[in-house]
Structure 1
């Protein structure tokens, strides 16, 4: 029962029941990435009359986080390229970095020097700061 309710009401954890039904009825699996995310498009590459192009969507393997789409699939899911990485021999460019998840809100988040959340003490202000005083 708990899994049914989670599938029914939690959109951020995998796919909802509605997405699962839509995917089963209208979707066509295009491929899967190295993280287990699965990519779909409208069956038969039909053009959606409301959009003017085919629908494309991703079903995340676990937590739904947009930064989990790797560069190889990013162009396809956003209609930048027409050919999915599984339909061609995709090779990453030398300037493409490996995927790093979004760590915002976690203990591993970036905290610059001087941040109140950074470890250690905040550095003292240098002599270039002049506080405002009334009458100046």
Structure 2
């Protein structure tokens, strides 16, 4: 019951009512990734291509789609990772959630939000001052 209420009143958690209806009416399940996101296709878009969408297992975060599924979602390939036995390349990194707006956000040296001291200015830079 709690999951149903979350889906009724939040668009960022799982699927909306419109997505649920469209999936029920036109969707064909294509596969699922390791994180539990489920991928569907069905119907056509304005360009005549098959529509493809994902129903997230938790919060809706587009960066949570793995590289193989990303290519399929954007019509870069017609074969889904579920059909081709996709294996990630050794150089591919695992997904890291977007931490923007949290205490774990990336803050480079020199950022006013960085807790460390700002790097000292070297001799190759002169700060502008009025009437100098």
Fold agreement, TM-score > 0.5: yes
TM-superposed CA distance for 1:24, in Å, is 0.9
Separation of aligned partners in 2, 1:117 and 1:107:
10
Residue aligned with 2:50, SS: coil
- Does the Cα contact within 8 Å between 1:32 and 1:39 map onto a contact in 2? yes
Deviates more, 1:2-11 or 1:121-130: 2-11
TM-superposed CA distance for 1:115, in Å, is 1.4
- Does the Cα contact within 8 Å between 2:45 and 2:51 map onto a contact in 1? no
Q: RMSD value over aligned CA atoms?
A: 2.1
Residue 91 (structure 2) pairs with residue 95 (structure 1): yes
Separation of aligned partners in 2, 1:87 and 1:2:
34
TM-superposed CA distance for 1:131, in Å, is 2.6
Q: Which residue of 1 aligns with 2:121?
A: 125
Q: Which residue of 2 aligns with 1:23?
A: 23
TM-score (norm 1): 0.84
Q: Which residue of 1 aligns with 2:8?
A: 8
2:107 to 93, 111, 114: 111
TM-superposed CA distance for 1:18, in Å, is 1.3
TM-score (norm 2): 0.86
Q: Structure 1 residue runs of 4+, over 4 Å off?
A: 1-5
Distance 1:90 1:133, change over 3 A: closer
Residue 59 (structure 2) pairs with residue 33 (structure 1): no
TM-superposed CA distance for 1:2, in Å, is 7.3
Per-residue deviation, residues 61-98 of structure 1 (Å, max 9, x unmatched): 11111100011211101100000011112122222222
Aligned residues: 132
